[in-house]
């Protein structure tokens, strides 16, 4: 935990320039010969202030180049207009699409949002939540880091800051959660491949350390069992979650003794990387090897070949989570618990009927 502005003592340093003189509420009040109370109310469009007075005040604020001091206001009201969002990695387009949806919801309600990656570091995640509390954040949307302890999960709520989870749920946490139905979604992809006649189907990527990872692997296993296909643990290559990871996994995948003819990938990034890796090895993804993705990122439809994947409703997740938080801030209580988005199959060119591998 750190204190102080920039954690330094006596940090008063050179301002950029002249800054003639700080304009504040009282400056407006004085130059207009009225009270600060009236100015304050007028700027916030209170019906308690006469229309003509309000207009005069607003005009003066504009003319003087007045900058509203939110820290002062927030100190008084204990509302900051700040909402924090922390996810694994904002550069991952999966989270990017969630963030975009959150951003557009929050924009509408004039909230400022503060973003952070935690890169699955519990430490970094806690620092972020503490900073947010220090800034008087109104709420937080998080996709919890692997290994988040229950007390960190509750840190926000315990200090009066509502929290909403996205994309991942947390064992034993009662926080409202919005995510896709991973088990169902992956079964769609697996069943699609089974329907095309594939029997040796690998599962590439993901980790058992997240709810998402466990659910997807379980969904894949269940689909195989249901089709009475034996589950071979050797057909699972856990780990990869990025395009680079998928690309590197291609070598391992192609050398599996079981010679799988299809791969259910953890997500679109892994699938695209895997397809590139397969192509680099001289095989043709989509015809020699069928590949499915997960998420239906914007890139999926323009990859080569176009990726068969599962729409995971990122935009929906972001939108609903933001709405739930805003509703909560407005006083209404959304029911807690997990809200699942129902995934949908998107069939494109990266999957084709079974053909034995030569």
Partner DNA sequence: CTGAAAGCGCTTACAG
Strands (E), 158-288: 163-166, 177-180, 201-204, 236-237, 262-265
Rg (CA), the chain: 26
Tell me which of 63, 75, 284, 304 binds DNA, using CB under 7 A.
Answer: 75
Listing DSSP states for 19-73 in one string gives --S---HHHHHHHHTS-HHHHHHHHTT-TTS-HHHHHHHHHHHHHHT----HHHH
Could you say which residues in the range 123-182 bind its own copies, by CB under 8 A?
A: 130-131, 133-136, 138, 157-162
Asked if 226 touches its own copies (CB under 8 A), the answer is: no
Asked if 329 touches DNA (CB under 7 A), the answer is: no
Could you say which residues in the range 82-101 bind DNA, by CB under 7 A?
A: none
Site track 3-22 with its own copies (rule: CB under 8 A), x = hit:
xxxxx-x-xxxxxxx-x---
Site track 180-209 with its own copies (rule: CB under 8 A), x = hit:
------------------------------
Asked if 3 touches DNA (CB under 7 A), the answer is: yes
Asked if 41 touches DNA (CB under 7 A), the answer is: yes
Tell me which of 28, 60, 87, 93 binds its own copies, using CB under 8 A.
Answer: 93
Could you say which residues in the range 261-300 bind its own copies, by CB under 8 A?
A: 273, 275-277, 279-280, 298-299
Q: How far is the CB of 216 from DNA (least distance, A)?
A: 44
Torsion-angle region of residue 160: left (phi > 0), alpha (psi -120 to 50) or beta?
Answer: left
Q: Choose from its own copies, DNA, none: what does 26 bind? Cβ within 5-8 Å by kind.
A: DNA
Asked if 76 touches DNA (CB under 7 A), the answer is: yes
Tell me which of 19, 31, 45, 47 binds DNA, using CB under 7 A.
Answer: 47
Asked if 238 touches its own copies (CB under 8 A), the answer is: no
Q: CB-based burial of residue 272 (10 Å sphere; 0-12 exposed, 13-18 middle, 19+ buried)?
A: buried
| Binding footprint of DNA, residue count (CB under 7 A) | 36
Tell me which of 30, 31, 50, 208 binds DNA, using CB under 7 A.
Answer: 50
Alpha carbons within 13 A on the beta-carbon side of 326: 18
Of 63-71, 181-189, 198-206, 220-228, the segment contacting its own copies by CB under 8 A is 63-71
Residue 81 DSSP class: -
Q: CB-based burial of residue 149 (10 Å sphere; 0-12 exposed, 13-18 middle, 19+ buried)?
A: exposed
What's the Cα-to-Cα distance from 313 to each of 106, 162, 165, 179, 345, rounded to whole Å? 18, 23, 15, 8, 11
Tell me which of 111, 192, 198, 241 binds its own copies, using CB under 8 A.
Answer: 111
Name the strand (E) or helix (H) holding 291: strand 290-292
Asked if 15 touches DNA (CB under 7 A), the answer is: no
Q: Are 196 and 222 in contact (CB under 8 A)?
A: no
Tell me which of 34, 196, 283, 329 binds its own copies, using CB under 8 A.
Answer: 329
301-339 as b/e: b if 16+ CB within 10 A: eebebebbbbbbbbbbbbbbbbbbbbebeeeeebeeebb
Enumerate binding residues for DNA (CB under 7 A).
3-4, 9-12, 22, 24-26, 33-38, 40-41, 43-44, 47-51, 53, 66-69, 72-73, 75-78
């Amino acid at each position: 935990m750190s204190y102080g502005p920039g954690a330094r003592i006596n940090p008063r340093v050179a301002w950029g320039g002249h800054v003639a003189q700080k304009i504040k509420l009282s400056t407006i009040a004085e130059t207009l010969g009225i009270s600060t109370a009236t100015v304050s109310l007028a700027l916030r469009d209170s019906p308690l202030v006469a229309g003509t007075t309000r207009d005069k005040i607003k005009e003066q604020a504009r003319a003087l180049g007045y900058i509203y001091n939110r820290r002062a206001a927030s100190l008084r009201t204990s509302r900051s207009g700040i909402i924090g969002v922390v996810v694994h990695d904002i550069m991952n387009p999966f989270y990017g699409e969630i963030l975009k949806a959150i951003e557009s919801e929050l924009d509408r309600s004039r909230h400022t949002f503060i973003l952070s990656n935690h890169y699955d570091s519990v430490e970094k995640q806690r620092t972020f939540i503490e900073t947010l509390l220090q800034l008087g954040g109104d709420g937080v949307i998080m996709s919890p880091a692997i290994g988040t302890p229950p007390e960190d999960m509750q840190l926000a709520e315990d200090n009066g800051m509502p929290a909403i989870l996205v994309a991942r749920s947390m064992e034993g946490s009662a926080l409202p959660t919005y995510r896709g139905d991973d088990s169902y979604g992956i079964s769609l992809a697996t069943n699609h491949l089974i329907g095309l006649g594939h029997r040796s189907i690998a599962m590439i990527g993901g980790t058992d350390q997240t709810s998402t990872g466990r659910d997807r692997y379980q969904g894949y296993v269940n689909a195989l069992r249901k089709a009475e296909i034996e589950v071979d643990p050797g057909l699972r290559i856990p780990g990869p979650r990025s395009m680079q990871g998928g690309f590197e996994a291609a070598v391992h995948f192609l050398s599996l003794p079981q010679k799988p003819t299809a791969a259910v990938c953890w997500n679109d990034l892994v699938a695209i990387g895997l397809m590139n890796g397969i192509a680099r090895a001289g095989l043709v993804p989509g015809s020699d090897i069928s590949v499915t993705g997960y998420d239906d990122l914007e890139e999926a439809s323009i990859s080569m070949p176009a990726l068969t994947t599962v729409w995971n409703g990122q935009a929906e997740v972001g939108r609903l989570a933001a709405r739930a938080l805003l509703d909560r801030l407005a006083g209404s209580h959304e029911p807690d618990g997990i809200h699942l988005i129902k995934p949908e199959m998107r069939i494109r060119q990266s999957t084709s009927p079974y053909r034995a591998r030569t």
